[in-house]
């Protein structure tokens, strides 16, 4: 007999995958890099041994690995897992161009195995890519010292988060970075901001991953479950602060606006007249270079 929890997990496992465009994943990297808090680096300074073996769940094209490299967080091996092969396929090209001129190189041994090394130094770091659903990876998390989930917490189902926190062994580090907290603040407000944000947060819970995503409540869930398990729980702000002063920031804000507009346009409950009027005004502000927004995120570091 399969229990209700198990049934929900299985249903989630076989539903249509929530795909992210490569252009969005690439565009957001510089903002995630800039706004992640110091939580991870501070922990690294305290105990480097808990960074030898890292698993990055929902890795996209490897942005977290490049973040670690940029912050001089040295690991021995990293496993990147994502169910979207198009994002994993971009790992090599993006990492190769990121390392250009930094004195490091990335060697491709096979489509799933890579070595990262300092030029002129023999010692290498092993990187492996795995194209699978992270639900199937819970049985291997304890082979790693650090479990990372970046920009993931809100799109995961409650059950997965609970299972992860239940299954993890003692003396591990879990790092949930860039967790959306449900708040978006526009410097020039519009009468529909509150309505659109409410609909967006509802949509995050219902549409992402077929109705099982926890949405902005993920932070509360992770905090409460960590307390229950008596884990050490730390939280810091990692909100994006976006302006529209140049072409690149305008481009990113337009993309972000689309991440709100597109799912709401498809749902059955959002008022489409309000939505398109709201979008028109926001777009005008971006084009005019007047749009400033804060997208609420938190970083969470858990020591088990
Ligand atoms: C918002 S993106 C974040 C990507 C990456 N962590 C980053 O910070 O750039 C969410 C990622 O999770 C992946 N993903 C979502 N659900 C997944 C699942 N059940 N199994 C594997 N990957 C998943 C998506 O394909 C996507 O790459």
Extents of the domains making up the chain = 4-185+214-243+296-303
Q: Is the CB of 135 under 6 A from ligand 1?
A: yes
Query: Atom of ligand 1 at shortest distance to CA of 209?
Result: 16
Nearest protein CA to atom 15 of ligand 1, as residue: 58
Distance 284 CA to ligand 1 centre (A): 31
Task: Report whether pLDDT(215) > 90.
Answer: no
Task: Report whether pLDDT(17) > 60.
Answer: no
Q: Considering the chain, what is the average pLDDT of its residues?
A: 92
- Residue 154 and residue 184: Cα distance in Å, rounded? 15
- Residue 160 and residue 158: Cα distance in Å, rounded? 6
Query: Atom of ligand 1 at shortest distance to CA of 13?
Result: 19
Give the chain's end-to-end CA distance (angstroms, integer): 32
Task: Report whether pLDDT(88) > 90.
Answer: yes
Tell how far CA 54 is from the center of its chain.
15
Q: 296: which residues sit within 8 A by CB, 6+ positions away?
A: 180, 181, 182, 183, 184, 185, 239
Q: For 160-178, what is the mean pLDDT? A: 97
Q: For 232-236, what is the mean pLDDT? A: 98
Residue length of the chain: 304
Task: Report whether pLDDT(209) > 70.
Answer: no
Q: Specify the CATH number of the domain 4-185+214-243+296-303.
A: 3.40.50.150
Query: Atom of ligand 1 at shortest distance to CA of 12?
Result: 19
Burial classification of residue 186, based on how many CB atoms lie within 10 Å of its CB (0-12 exposed, 13-18 middle, 19 or more buried): middle
Residue 296's closest CA among 241, 243, 253, 245?
Answer: 241
Q: How far is CA 187 from CA 34, 108, 201, 295, 297, in A?
A: 20, 45, 19, 11, 17
Q: Is the CB of 161 under 6 A from ligand 1?
A: no
- Residue 134 and residue 225: Cα distance in Å, rounded? 20
- Residue 87 and residue 240: Cα distance in Å, rounded? 23
C-alpha angle 112-179-139 in degrees, rounded to nearest 5 = 45
Nearest protein CA to atom 3 of ligand 1, as residue: 151
Q: For 194-201, what is the mean pLDDT? A: 97
- Kindly compute the dihedral angle of the four CA atoms of residues 77, 158, 88, 43, in this order, to the nearest 10 degrees: -30
The answer to whether residues 131 and 88 touch, using CB atoms and an 8 Å cutoff, is yes
Q: For 208-237, what is the mean pLDDT? A: 88
Distance 23 CA to ligand 1 centre (A): 14
At 213, the pLDDT band (50, 70, 90 cuts) reads confident
Name the residue with tokens 């994502």.
82
- Which percentage of the chain shows pLDDT scores above 90? 85
Query: Atom of ligand 1 at shortest distance to CA of 156?
Result: 16
Q: Is the CB of 80 under 6 A from ligand 1?
A: no
Q: Is the CB of 149 under 6 A from ligand 1?
A: no
Q: Is the CB of 63 under 6 A from ligand 1?
A: yes
Tokens encoding 4 = 């209700």
- Residue 80 and residue 114: Cα distance in Å, rounded? 11
């Amino acid at each position: 007999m399969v229990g209700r929890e198990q049934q929900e997990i299985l249903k989630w496992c076989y539903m249509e995958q929530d795909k992210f465009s490569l252009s969005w994943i690439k565009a957001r990297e510089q903002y995630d890099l800039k706004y992640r808090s110091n939580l991870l680096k501070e922990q690294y300074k305290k105990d480097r041994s808990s960074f030898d073996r890292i698993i990055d769940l929902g890795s996209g094209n490897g942005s977290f690995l490049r973040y670690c490299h940029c912050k001089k967080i040295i690991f021995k091996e990293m496993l990147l897992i994502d169910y979207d092969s198009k994002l994993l396929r971009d790992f090599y090209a993006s990492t190769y161009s990121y390392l250009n001129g930094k004195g490091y190189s990335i060697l491709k041994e096979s489509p799933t195995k890579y070595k990262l090394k300092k030029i002129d130094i023999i010692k290498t770091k092993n990187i492996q890519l795995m194209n699978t659903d992270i639900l199937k990876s819970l049985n291997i998390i304890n082979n790693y010292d650090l479990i990372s989930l970046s920009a993931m917490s809100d799109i995961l189902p409650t059950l997965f988060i609970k299972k992860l926190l239940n299954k993890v062994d003692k003396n591990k580090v879990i790092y949930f970075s860039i967790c959306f907290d449900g708040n978006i603040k526009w410097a020039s407000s519009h009468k529909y901001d509150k309505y659109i944000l409410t609909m967006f947060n509802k949509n995050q819970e219902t549409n992402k991953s077929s109705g099982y995503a926890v949405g902005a409540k993920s932070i509360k869930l992770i905090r409460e479950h960590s307390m229950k398990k008596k884990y050490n729980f730390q939280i810091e702000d990692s909100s994006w602060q976006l302006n529209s002063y140049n072409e690149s920031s305008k481009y990113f804000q337009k993309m972000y606006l689309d991440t709100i507009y597109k799912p709401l346009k498809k749902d059955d409950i959002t008022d489409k007249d309000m939505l398109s009027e709201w979008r028109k005004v926001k777009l005008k502000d971006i084009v005019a270079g007047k749009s400033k927004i804060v997208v609420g995120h938190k970083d969470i570091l858990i020591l088990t």
